Amino acid sequence: MTFSAVDVITAKREGAELSDEQITWVLDAYQRGEVADEQMSALLMAIFFCGMQSRELRTWTDRMIASGETLDLRGLSRPSVDKHSTGGVGDKISLILAPLVAACGACVPQLSGRGLGHTGGTLDKLDSIPGWRAALSNDEMRAQLESVGAVICAAGAGLAPVDRRLYALRDVTGTVESIPLISSSIMSKKIAEGTQALVLDVKVGRGAFIKTIERARELASTMVTLGEDHGVSTVAQLTAMDQPLGRAVGNALEVIESLEVLRGGGPIDVRELTLALASTMLDLVGIDVDPREKLDDGSAYDVYRSMIMAQGGDPDAVLVPARVHEVVTADTSGYVTSVDALCVGIAAWRLGAGRARKEDPVSAGAGVMCLVREGDRIAIGEPLFELYADDGEHLARGRETIRDAVAIGEEQPEAATILLEKITR
């Protein structure tokens, strides 16, 4: 059945529910080039304002999955479970979590992306390891899951390819924040990946693109429903992203900190979130193992080394920060009442750790070390941040932004919690 793109746009603009046939036609026609970018942009804006009902969203997601290939992870000797984060500042959890859950007996097919703006990308972090490669074939991915138990790599171009085009349009049309469009984008790729179970780490707060707990709940619930409707056991964990996660924000800096955690140390908040997500992942696939033991006895670190070597990387390479270095100190005394994750993330980006456009290069060694946390007592002249950049120009850009990242007051704030809520169907 053939429809008119204008009729579909108009129907959604007026708040109507699109039929399954309309959704199927418009996405298939867009993939074939019969619906123009400007027409799809108009439809995305209509969806942004009018939303989608559950049936519409399920069909929309189905067609995105059907636009490409799906991976078949059946036949692996271990159950498969993945994690997806909606993105934050200093979020290096995947680097620790994938080998940890694999050490506990599952296989983890972690398809990751690159950073854009103030949020870092897992692949950019791992790119700082000499020799490591992100691009694997489906056969290489399956073989590594069987032999090592964990893989962190780029999603292949064949997975939900229409999503790539839609995401590019959303990025330039101001429709990125639409919950139906976010949900279908994330879940179409995760469902096509073929994993049996999925844990969603939905960030909320100053450093996340979802700022309120109410919208975070809505997004989490929508994605959990999509996963369950497609046969993927799905749970979401809402986590705080008001201050950076851990101390390191940058690429090599975050790998270094991840290794500290894999060796039994590292920041308490990174360790706490990693163990919480690992426990949920293992519960979903019925594995009764305490991830804390596998983190503390070195098993997770051993899997990490094997994972890096399997993808051509040198796990023993010495990673160093960028050569231009500056310490930012406090200009008043008191308690740290706020460490603004968004400001820190933007500072790291301007130091060279992030990109404004997908084609921009990133610096492996640039970034920020956060030396204080909310609630710390600080005196005039004590260090707040260490900045790293490849040159003085980038350092100056980062310095300008970091000035607004810390608030100091007379009263100590209440201790913040990182684990907010768990969302199930």
- Single out the catalytic residue among 83, 189, 217, 305: 189
Find the catalytic residue in 170, 203, 294, 397: 170
Residues linked to residue 261 through DSSP beta bridges, in sequence order: none
Give yes or no for a contact between 25 and 43, defined as CB atoms under 8 angstroms apart.
no
Q: Which residue of the set 62, 163, 269, 340 is catalytic?
A: 163
**Predicted pLDDT at 356:** 74
Q: Name the band, by pLDDT with cuts 50, 70 and 90, for residue 358.
A: confident
Q: Looking at 41, 183, 185, 306, which residue is catalytic?
A: 185
Q: In what order do the strands lie in the sheet with 197-204?
A: 81-85, 197-204, 233-240, 419-423
Q: What is the CATH number of domain 5-51?
A: 1.20.970.10
Query: Which pLDDT belongs to residue 116?
Result: 67
Mean pLDDT in residue range 98-118: 91
| CATH class of the structural domain 81-310 | alpha beta
> What pLDDT does 214 receive?
97
How many other C-beta atoms lie within 10 A of the C-beta of residue 226? 25
Residue 380 tokens read as 């005039």
Average pLDDT, the chain: 95
pLDDT score of 55: 97
Other residues' Cβ atoms within 10 Å of the Cβ of residue 366: 29
Residue 171, pLDDT score: 81
* 406 phi, psi to nearest 5 deg: -120, 135
**Is there a catalytic annotation at residue 189?**
yes
Average pLDDT over residues 4-12: 97
* Per-residue model confidence (pLDDT) at position 96: 98
DSSP state of 73: -
For the question of residue 63 being annotated catalytic, the response is no
Q: What is the mean pLDDT of residues 57-79?
A: 95
Q: What is the mean pLDDT of residues 252-276?
A: 97
HSE-CB of 109 using CA atoms within 13 angstroms: 31
The pLDDT-based confidence of 115 (bands split at 50, 70, 90) is confident
Catalytic residue among 12, 58, 84, 190: 84
Q: What is the percent of the chain where pLDDT is above 70?
A: 99
Q: What is the mean pLDDT of residues 276-287?
A: 98
CA angle 351, 352, 355 (to 5 degrees): 125
Q: What pLDDT is recorded for position 117?
A: 67
202-261 confidence digits (pLDDT tens): 999 999 989 999 999 999 999 999 999 999 999 999 999 999 999 999 999 999 999 999
Catalytic status, residue 325 = no
- Say whether 170 is catalytic: yes
- Is 90 exceeded by the pLDDT of residue 388? yes
pLDDT exceeds 80 at position 120: no
CA 277 to CA 200: how far, in whole Å?
9
- Residues 390-423 pLDDT 10s: 999 999 999 999 988 999 999 999 998 999 999 9
Active site residue 183: no
Q: How would residue 355 be classed by pLDDT, with cut points 50, 70 and 90?
A: confident
The position carrying tokens 């990174």 is: 270
Residue 2: the pLDDT is 78
Superfamily name and number for 324-409: Pyrimidine nucleoside phosphorylase-like, C-terminal domain (3.90.1170.30)
Q: What are the residue ranges spanned by the domains of the chain? A: 5-51, 81-310, 324-409
pLDDT of residue 374: 97
Supply the pLDDT for residue 187: 96
Q: Is 381's pLDDT higher than 70?
A: yes
Confidence check: pLDDT of 118 > 80: no
The DSSP element (H or E) to which 187 belongs, if any, is helix 179-192
In 3D space, the residue among 90, 406, 89, 85 whose CA is nearest the CA of residue 248 turns out to be: 90
Q: E strands, 241-396, where?
A: 248-250, 324-329, 334-339, 367-370, 377-378, 383-389
